[in-house]
Structure 1
């Protein structure tokens, strides 16, 4: 009986040794979420840089337009040019705004997905933790019984 219990205990120890710890699982989840957050932060920084570049280009375009308008002969021509430039610029801006809204919506979907995955992983981690405690309790019971068995022999 002692040999069988010792063998069972060794088997349990081997299984426990190969079972990933809760801390390892949490570390993996934290790394995954951190990598995702870093990726989104970099993308946001790139978007901000592109926005600044666009603002600079728009400012330059405004300066160039002003210089060209100064050379026009009549107020009517100047007014016609301005109306066209503003109309085109507004159309471009509306298209860019829509593109940015689409991009933002896409980011929102990605963020929602990440939140869902985080919640799912948290649930799985809690499940694993509760099962892990059950295994610990079982091991305590087994050790208690082995002590009782050895004490009576």
Structure 2
């Protein structure tokens, strides 16, 4: 039995040599956890830096969007501007149309007055021509009488 125990003890010692000691195993676990913690800490720091960069970009984008919205007139403001422009234009056109109609009436009166003056001038010209003809006839008559007086 002693030989069996000795053999079992030798087998146990051989197995024990193949197994790491408790201290070695704890050291290994601590190193693994430490390496993992360092790696996670570095990743966390990178993540925080990226998060800060993203937050800055988001804030800048928000400011740019606000500035763009402030620079652009709202739809209601744009519609109001167009309505004023169209209204002002319509009022201006109505005033110009009234002026044109008024001037057209004056022009029509002037044309009528010119026609009347032309008709009178034509009539006077015809009367003058008629008087010239009668003067010619009168002159002929006087000449014929003078000839008759001198020939007798």
* TM-score normalised per structure 1: 0.50
Q: Distance in 2 between matches of 1:133 and 1:109?
A: 36
* TM-score normalised per structure 2: 0.51
Label 1:82 to 1:132 Cα distance change in 2 as closer, same or farther (>3 A).
Answer: same
Q: Distance in 1 between matches of 2:72 and 2:117?
A: 61
Larger radius of gyration: 2
Counterpart in 2 of 1:108? 108
1:1-153 correspondence runs (5 A): 72-152=72-152
Name which structure has the greater RCO, CA cutoff 8 Å, separation 6+: 1
| C-alpha deviation, 1:108, in angstroms | 1.8
Q: Distance in 2 between matches of 1:83 and 1:73?
A: 15
Q: Distance in 2 between matches of 1:103 and 1:72?
A: 45
Q: Distance in 2 between matches of 1:132 and 1:121?
A: 16
What 5-or-longer segments of structure 2 have no aligned partner?
1-70
Query: Which consecutive aligned stretches of 4+ in structure 1 deviate over 3 angstroms post-superposition?
Result: none
Equivalenced residues, count? 82
Counterpart in 2 of 1:68? none
Please report the RMSD computed on the Cα atoms of aligned residues, expressed in angstroms: 1.3
| C-alpha deviation, 1:148, in angstroms | 1.2
Label 1:72 to 1:139 Cα distance change in 2 as closer, same or farther (>3 A).
Answer: farther
Q: Distance in 1 between matches of 2:79 and 2:115?
A: 52
